[in-house]
Amino acid sequence: MIEDDFYATIKLKCGDEIFCKVAASEEEDKTVLLISNPIILSLVKNRGGSSIGYKIEPWLKTTTEDMFIINMNDVLTMSESSDIEMIFMYQKYVTSSDKVNKGTPELSRKMGYLGKVNDTKDLLEKIFKNL
């Protein structure tokens, strides 16, 4: 049976501290957590030592998966979050990472030269003929 989703900060026994959306599930004789899009937050400070914001990174950097299963035996502590700012940052990160993972980056003029198809075709034909 899967419980309702909630946002939480989880401290794992390995030392990692993650923020994610969590659903608890009873599997046979143990409890597991289904976590989606876990992130790590780092406090960013300016040269004077004052905090200016947070840096958000994915928990696991070498995978494109967004759902993970954690055994409750690996959890040191967990705290449900109702912090609106934190939840908003998390949702914004998840939305922007979904666009990147789906291969639909936002287009801008900084991405390269914009030209007409026929002009580019003519240029490529000239280059090919000169080879």
Return the CATH number at 56: 2.30.30.100
- Report the DSSP beta bridge partners of residue 33: 24, 70
Question: How many domains, the chain?
Answer: 1
What average pLDDT does range 40-69 have in this prediction? 88
Does 33 map to a domain?
yes
Terminal Cα distance for the chain, rounded? 66
**Domain of residue 78, residue span:** 6-129
Q: Residue 1: pLDDT above 60?
A: no
Q: Residue 16: pLDDT above 90?
A: yes
pLDDT band at 107 (very low <50, low <70, confident <90, very high): low
Does 1 map to a domain?
no
Q: Which pLDDT score, from 0 to 100, does residue 70 have?
A: 93
- The DSSP element (H or E) to which 51 belongs, if any, is strand 51-58
What average pLDDT does range 53-80 have in this prediction? 90
pLDDT band at 22 (very low <50, low <70, confident <90, very high): very high
